[in-house]
Every structure is written in C-alpha cells, then in structure tokens.
C-alpha cells in the first residue's frame, strides 16, 4: 500500500485514496479481489482495491484487522475517502486478517 509520505504531486486520485485508506486504524490492507479484478489501472502500474469511476464515485475493498469493529472501521474508511472524491463512496470489507497463529510454545508443546 502507498503511504501518504510517498505520494508525489502528480499522484493519481486512486493512489491518494489508497494511501488515505492505509492510514485508517483497523485497516490491514486493500483487497484487489481473488483475480485482481478490483483495481485502478494506470500507466505501468495498478492500485489494487480502489476503483474510481468518471463521475468521481469510489469503490474501496479492504481487509480489516482481527478484533477491530468492522462497521466502525468501514465508516472510518468511508469518511477518509469522502474527503477526497466528489462522488459516492462504497466500502466493501472483503476479509478479516486473523490473529497470528501461535507457535508450538503457544500451544504448550514448545521449549
């Protein structure tokens, strides 16, 4: 994901949206779909998980961290993106990033 610090003056709106979404607490990342179908295609690169149509409507697909409230996180994403696009904002939570699997020691069988 692109960070706000790495954006340049000529950044595409989809890149700006991706950076803003990445800064929302509770968001583990953007989700481009099983086959990468959710993306903005730019010259020589793509922004997975973000689509902005010609009318300025945005569709953002995210993965939320385990334990984070999904509705509140989706609302925070919507608010962050709404400041950046003139149209509607649609947020889709595609997955939840589960907690790290405990190692053998976490199961009582380690050293």
Span 50-92, pLDDT tens digits: 999 999 999 999 999 999 999 999 999 999 999 999 999 999 9
- Residue 59 included in any domain: yes
**CA 39 to CA 84: how far, in whole Å?**
17
- Residue 48 included in any domain: yes
Coil vs helix vs strand at 81: helix
pLDDT digits (tens, 9 = 90+) for 2-34: 555 555 567 899 999 999 999 999 999 999 999
- Burial of residue 40 (CB within 10 Å: 0-12, 13-18, 19+) is buried
Provide long-range contacts, Cβ within 8 A and 24+ apart, for 75-78. Answer: 76/24, 76/25, 76/26, 77/21, 77/24, 77/27
- CA of 87: how far to CAs of 33, 40, 56, 63, in Å? 22, 16, 5, 23
- Residue 82 included in any domain: yes
pTM of the model: 0.81
- Residue 48 pLDDT: 97
Q: Is the pLDDT of residue 46 over 50?
A: yes
Q: Which CATH number do you get for residue 47?
A: 3.30.70.1350
Range of the structural domain that residue 77 is part of: 4-99
**Structural domains counted in the chain:** 1
């Amino acid at each position: 994901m692109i960070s706000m610090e790495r954006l340049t003056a000529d950044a595409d709106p989809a890149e700006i949206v991706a950076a803003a979404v990445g800064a929302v607490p509770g968001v583990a990342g953007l989700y481009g779909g099983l086959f990468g179908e959710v993306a903005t295609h730019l010259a020589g690169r793509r922004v997975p998980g973000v689509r902005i149509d010609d009318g300025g409507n945005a569709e953002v697909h995210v993965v939320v961290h385990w334990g984070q409230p999904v509705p509140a996180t989706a609302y925070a994403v919507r608010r962050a993106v709404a400041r950046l696009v003139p149209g509607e904002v649609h947020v889709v939570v595609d997955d939840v990033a589960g907690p790290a699997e405990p190692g053998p020691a976490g199961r009582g069988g380690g050293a």
